[in-house]
Amino acid sequence: MIADLKPYPAMKHSGVEWLGEVPEHWEVRRLKTLFSAVDIRSESGSEELLTVSSNLGIVLRRSANVTMFKAESYAGHKLCWPGDLVINSLWAWSRGLGVSDHHGIVSTAYGVYRPRDAGMLDPRFVHALVRSTPFRWELRVRSKGVWTSRLQLTDESFFGAPFPLPPLAEQAAIVRFLDYADRRIRRYIRAKQKLIKLLEEQKLGIIHRAVTRGLDPDVPLRDSGVEWLGEVPEHWEVMRVKQASQVLRGKFTHRPRNDPSLYDGPYPFIQTGEVARSDKTITSYRQTLNERGLAVSRMSPAGTLVMTIAANIGDVAVLDFDACFPDSVVGFAPRKHVERDFLYYMFRAMKPELLREAPVNTQGNLNVDRIGSRGIGVPPIPEQQGIVRRIEAETGRLDEAIDRGRREISLLRELRTRLIADVVTGKVDVREAAARLPDEESDLAALDDADALTDADALIDAEDATADDLDAVLEEVEA
């Protein structure tokens, strides 16, 4: 279906650099001619609370599991109605906007814009266009401020943006086609994700069995006295993590953490995202600290084992270079009777236990004392080395299959992004394809966890978010 799409028969120059040529019968209008700003306030604050998801747009706040930035009263906050375009002025450049399907309360920091003539605009087309990659570039250019801090889109800048406008019937055809294509791409992605989950469960089973039972299936066992370990070979020593390794919490004492005066120096700085994205070894980084940043942090040597204790709880990796990291990451320096890679796989097996421990803390995070007190089984060094070799030999093919699945998901997402961009900017003609599509109910309600809202999405709802919070969201958005 997608491969058969062709360009429009007649094109014209749009006069807009990022838009290029558009179909000859399309208009290119300034947004001020299509929308007007709306500022209607809630008298009671009792209406439905809404939030912006970078993934989905405007959603019910209760569906986003937001546990932060709640006001005592929402009286005086802005209201929006179905069909209104709602924009978080601080996050417009990162898809912090969308057309609302709901009536409810939004942040006072948001812009609410209503079509001047509802007969000219299909709300679903507007939603797709303003969240598309090309239009995000336009919003990025029009948002003013410091890139490392806050960029803000003003009403004046927004109203000056160009907007490609096909006829209303064609907007509906575009939306119909994109919905159809999107459902199928999401189904393919879900199928790949389910396969990856099964492979990862199989891999975890191999790791867990190896680090708790060892290499000999007939070895005598004894009760470890540690619930998550169960029985271990009787010749293994059972000890606390802090006995097997020095536990070093990351350090970054300066607030706000995204202060630009601390960055762009020679010292690598990793955060939870790098640990989560690594394939055992962290080989790259996105940020660096200067001398001032280093003074409020701490450098750890290459080879340090690191674990996340906030955000992506329990993810582990090995540093391939000297680096600093914040207090949301913990470092481990194994003692002489423990192999680093054995401890790495022990932590991999321990992650479900760590996740169960996390909710006991008020912020849902782990802490150094809890990690250090966890019990593990430690065999002699030669056996640790043999266990590592066995794990890596048995999981090699699984890793290859997992990597292949992830690459395919990445390609599918790139396809979806490019397809949306090409269709809403008139680079391909979908009118005939849309007309041939069968009637089909939307299955968006069946989206899996990959499409669910997260606190990271919901953070862009906060008009009073701290710089630390915005920095954390920026890391997630750019991941």
Res. 476: pLDDT tops 50? no
How far is Cα 70 from Cα 327, in angstroms, rounded to an integer?
25
Average pLDDT over residues 282-305: 96
- Is the CB of residue 288 less than 8 Å from the CB of residue 324? no
Q: What percent of the chain has pLDDT over 70?
A: 87
DSSP letters spanning 145-202: E-TTS-EE--HHHHHTSEEEE--HHHHHHHHHHHHHHHHHHHHHHHHHHHHHHHHHHH
Per the domain annotation, does 221 fall within a domain? yes
Per the domain annotation, does 463 fall within a domain? yes
Per the domain annotation, does 207 fall within a domain? no
Longest alpha-carbon distance in the chain: 80
- Is the CB of residue 64 less than 8 Å from the CB of residue 458? yes
Domain boundary among 360, 378, 396: 378
For 431-441, the pLDDT digits (tens) are 999 999 987 65
Question: In the structure encoding, which two tokens stand for residue 472, read together?
Answer: 């954390």
Least confident of 76-85, 155-164, 200-209, 363-372: 363-372
Does 319 share its domain with 426?
no
Q: Which CATH number covers residue 180?
A: 3.90.220.20
- Residue 445's pLDDT is what? 44
Per the domain annotation, does 264 fall within a domain? yes
- Residue 47's pLDDT is what? 95
Least confident of 30-44, 134-148, 180-194: 134-148
Residue 66 CA: distances (Å) to CA of 86, 300, 446: 19, 34, 21
- Residue 162's pLDDT is what? 97
Average pLDDT over residues 340-364: 82
- When divided into structural domains, the chain yields a total of 2
Res. 326: pLDDT tops 90? yes
Domain of 292, in residue numbers: 215-378
Beta-carbon count within 10 A of 109 CB: 18
Does 102 share its domain with 168?
yes
- Residue 65's pLDDT is what? 59
- Residue 460's pLDDT is what? 38
Average pLDDT over residues 347-374: 79
For 390-449, the pLDDT digits (tens) are 999 999 999 999 999 999 999 999 999 999 999 999 999 999 999 999 876 544 444 444
pTM summary value: 0.77
Domain boundary among 378, 394, 418: 378
Does 173 share its domain with 294?
no
Res. 42: pLDDT tops 90? yes
- Residue 355's pLDDT is what? 86
- Residue 257's pLDDT is what? 82
How far is Cα 423 from Cα 86, in angstroms, rounded to an integer?
23
Does 255 share its domain with 135?
no
> Which carries the bigger pLDDT value, residue 346 or residue 356?
346
- Residue 441's pLDDT is what? 52
Question: In the structure encoding, which two tokens stand for residue 453, read together?
Answer: 């809202």
- Residue 62's pLDDT is what? 83
Average pLDDT over residues 152-172: 95
Does 317 share its domain with 450?
no
Does 258 share its domain with 334?
yes
pLDDT band at 366 (very low <50, low <70, confident <90, very high): confident
For 75-122, the pLDDT digits (tens) are 999 999 999 999 998 888 888 999 999 999 998 889 999 999 999 999
User: Average pLDDT over the chain, rounded to whole?
Assistant: 88
Does 171 share its domain with 228?
no
Question: In the structure encoding, which two tokens stand for residue 269, read together?
Answer: 């700085």
Phi, psi torsion values for 92, nearest 5 degrees: -60, -35
- Residue 61's pLDDT is what? 86
Does 327 share its domain with 275?
yes
Positive or negative CA dihedral for 276, 279, 281, 287?
negative
pLDDT band at 7 (very low <50, low <70, confident <90, very high): very high
Phi, psi torsion values for 334, nearest 5 degrees: -60, 145
Does 158 share its domain with 239?
no
Residue type, 363: Q
Per the domain annotation, does 367 fall within a domain? yes
Per the domain annotation, does 107 fall within a domain? yes
How far is Cα 153 from Cα 92, in angstroms, rounded to an integer?
7
Residue bearing tokens 């406008």: 165
Per the domain annotation, does 223 fall within a domain? yes
Per the domain annotation, does 393 fall within a domain? no
How far is Cα 398 from Cα 258, in angstroms, rounded to an integer?
38
Does 222 share its domain with 339?
yes
Does 333 share its domain with 413?
no
Does 410 share its domain with 358?
no
